[in-house]
Amino acid sequence: MSWPNRITVFRLVLVTPFILLLLYASQSPVCRYGAIGVMVLIGILDAADGIIARRTGTVTKIGSVLDPLADKALMITALVAMTFPGVLSEDPSIRLPFWVSITLVSRDIFILVGAMVVYHLVGFCQGVPSLIGKASTIMQFIMLVLACAAPQFGWYSPVTQGILYTVWIITVLLGILSWIGYIRMGSKLLTAGTTGQT
């Protein structure tokens, strides 16, 4: 367990207190800001473990699996939770739109299942994160932080609505583009793997 991998495991552990704080966000500003703080900390740690791994030459196979798994664990649970009425606010109409959460959760589940299928068929699955994929992850972090904070600052104000819809659209578009990119990457891995086995 190198330090980058320990940080990644810690990110996975932080998902539980984040969700617990988020579930009480509508009842307590302290829990709301606590959830935001934990999410920001997870984002900082996400950047830190990658930088440390590259600079210290401690990039490992287990790390390449744990890192995206930690991202997906946070994203999927947060997206699902924020879509339920009553989580972000006592007003049931304040939540993430279904078209946002369904698209992004479907993308993440597809990537996880696709990676397992490729590994099962080829024996390896270690793709290089694309620029669009990284941008998609960053935008999802930004979107979730804004969605969690917005009810405290007037969800229905024109400025807040304009920012939210802009972020939602950009995040979904990046998610779809990165989804297509991962499909192409998986196809190349399958082609290379089957060619090497023949």
Nearest alpha-carbon partner for 74 in 38, 47, 49? 38
Q: Residue 114's pLDDT is what?
A: 82
* Stated pTM of the model: 0.86
pLDDT given at position 174: 96
**CB atoms near residue 117 (< 10 Å):** 13
Residue with tokens 């539980």: 16
Dist CA 104 CA 110 (whole Å): 10
Over the chain (198 residues), the average pLDDT of each successive run of 10 is 85 95 94 95 89 78 79 93 95 95 93 80 65 90 95 92 96 94 82 60
How many alpha carbons fall within 13 Å on the CB side of residue 170? 16
The token duo for 103 is 């698209």
- pLDDT given for residue 197 in this prediction: 54
Q: Torsions phi, psi of 75, nearest 5?
A: -60, -50
- Chain centre to alpha carbon of residue 40: 12
Place of tokens 């969800």: 155
Buried residues in 4-30 as b, exposed as e (16+ CB within 10 A) = bbebbeebeebbeebbebbeebbeeee
In contact, 11 and 45? CB cutoff 8 Å: yes
Which amino acid belongs to residue 76? Answer: I
Percentages (nearest 5) of helix, strand, coil residues in the chain: 80, 0, 20
Q: Report how far residue 62's alpha carbon sits from residue 18's, in angstroms, rounded to the nearest whole number.
A: 24
Task: Tell me which architecture the domain covering 3-197 has in CATH.
Answer: Up-down Bundle (1.20)
Tell me the two tokens of residue 192.
Answer: 């290379």
